């Protein structure tokens, strides 16, 4: 694995532990079987929706993903207005494999995932059937081409969903920085960015971090008696408000993290207000997507400061 890929300090042993009431072995098995059957039924019926228009397919996708979430015993809570507008880049924090059907249950679109997801049980066929863009994370030179593909899809009116942290974080104490490369696609296509905030209650069972096996995570989710997944759709960042991908990524990251960052600062003439770090200088062209964008080490976070756990290669296990 490339040592420059984003990593998270979260590990299953420390972050996925919980004391929530258990559903019992029989109910857990029933949920796993029901979830697998629901996914399989959707995959088999998907070809029948091809003659339908995009709005109808999105509606059916929402219903299907909500059924998948409920089949695993997870309750869905939606906050904010999820309008079915035009093309937009949807960006969300990344906690679990549950994030994929969770976002699709509210804002279905074509997702960006690492190439390994294609071979995952249950979720791999789901991702492939949904038109997912697969990125080989060990080939950073492929990133600019992927960004061009995302921009082309956005220009064609598609909604594209990405998890710009590049790795999962348990969500107990903040998350990782949003990698700016994918935001270039929104700039090139001239579309808005829609931030989305994901939370789970209780937080531990849903966390899919570190070297956690997928089957173990599936079992842990199904074994919780009451697990709630909350998705909050935040106001979009309009196209043109930010002229470079780094400032656009920070704006979306701060929105998801619920950090107030004023878009404009009115100050007396004698007070110097520094420009946002990474913003394009006057007369300087906006950045273009390069492979090095995803080759930066994540900065220290609240979680890292609160824990001395070494960072595992969690990015190998999660969509990017």
pLDDT digits (tens, 9 = 90+) for 203-212: 888 888 767 7
pLDDT at res. 51:
83
- DSSP sequence for 189-200: HT--EEEEEEEE
Spell out the residues 6+ positions from residue 293 whose beta carbon is closer than 8 angstroms to its own.
143, 179, 180, 181, 184, 245
Map residue 37 onto helix, strand or coil: helix
C-alpha span between 292 and 179 (Å, rounded): 10
Radius of gyration of the chain (CA): 19
What is the DSSP code (8-state) at residue 237? B
Q: Which residues pair with 89 in a beta bridge?
A: 160, 193
Map residue 99 onto helix, strand or coil: helix
Is residue 150 within 8 A of residue 113, CB to CB? The reply is no
pLDDT digits (tens, 9 = 90+) for 88-142: 999 999 888 899 899 999 998 888 877 777 777 766 776 776 678 887 766 778 7
Give the residue among 60, 41, 154, 50 at the shortest CA–CA distance from 105.
Answer: 60
- Count H helices, E strands: the chain? 11, 7
pTM: 0.73
C-alpha span between 143 and 145 (Å, rounded): 5
Q: Residues of the chain whose pLDDT is less than 70? A: 1-20, 84-85, 122-123, 126, 129-130, 137-138, 169-175, 210, 259-320
pLDDT at res. 12:
58
């Amino acid at each position: 694995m490339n040592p420059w890929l984003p990593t998270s300090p979260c590990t299953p042993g420390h972050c996925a532990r919980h004391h929530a009431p258990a559903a019992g072995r029989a109910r857990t098995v029933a949920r796993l079987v029901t979830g697998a059957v629901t996914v399989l039924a959707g995959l088999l019926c998907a070809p029948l929706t091809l003659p339908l228009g995009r709005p109808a397919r999105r509606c059916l996708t929402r219903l299907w993903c909500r059924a998948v979430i409920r089949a695993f015993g997870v309750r869905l809570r939606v906050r904010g207005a999820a309008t079915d507008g035009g093309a937009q880049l949807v960006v969300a924090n990344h906690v679990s494999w549950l994030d994929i059907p969770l976002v699709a249950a509210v804002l279905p679109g074509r997702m960006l995932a690492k190439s390994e997801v294609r071979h995952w049980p249950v979720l791999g066929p789901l991702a492939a059937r949904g038109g997912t863009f697969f990125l080989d994370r060990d080939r950073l030179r492929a990133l600019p081409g992927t960004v061009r593909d995302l921009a082309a899809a956005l220009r064609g009116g598609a909604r594209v969903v990405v998890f710009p942290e590049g790795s999962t974080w348990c969500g107990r104490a903040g998350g990782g920085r949003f990698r700016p490369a994918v935001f270039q696609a929104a700039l090139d296509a001239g579309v808005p960015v829609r931030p989305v905030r994901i939370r789970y209650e209780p937080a531990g069972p849903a966390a899919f971090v570190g070297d956690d096996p997928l089957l173990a995570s599936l079992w842990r989710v199904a074994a919780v008696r009451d697990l709630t997944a909350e998705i909050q759709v935040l106001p979009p960042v309009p196209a043109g408000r930010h002229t470079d991908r780094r400032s656009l990524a920070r704006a979306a990251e701060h929105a998801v993290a619920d950090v107030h960052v004023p878009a404009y600062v009115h100050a007396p003439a004698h007070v110097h207000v520094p420009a946002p770090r990474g913003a394009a200088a006057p007369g300087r062209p906006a950045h273009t997507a390069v492979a090095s964008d995803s080759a930066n080490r994540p900065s220290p976070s609240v979680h890292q400061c609160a824990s001395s756990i070494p960072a595992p290669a969690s990015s190998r296990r999660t969509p990017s």
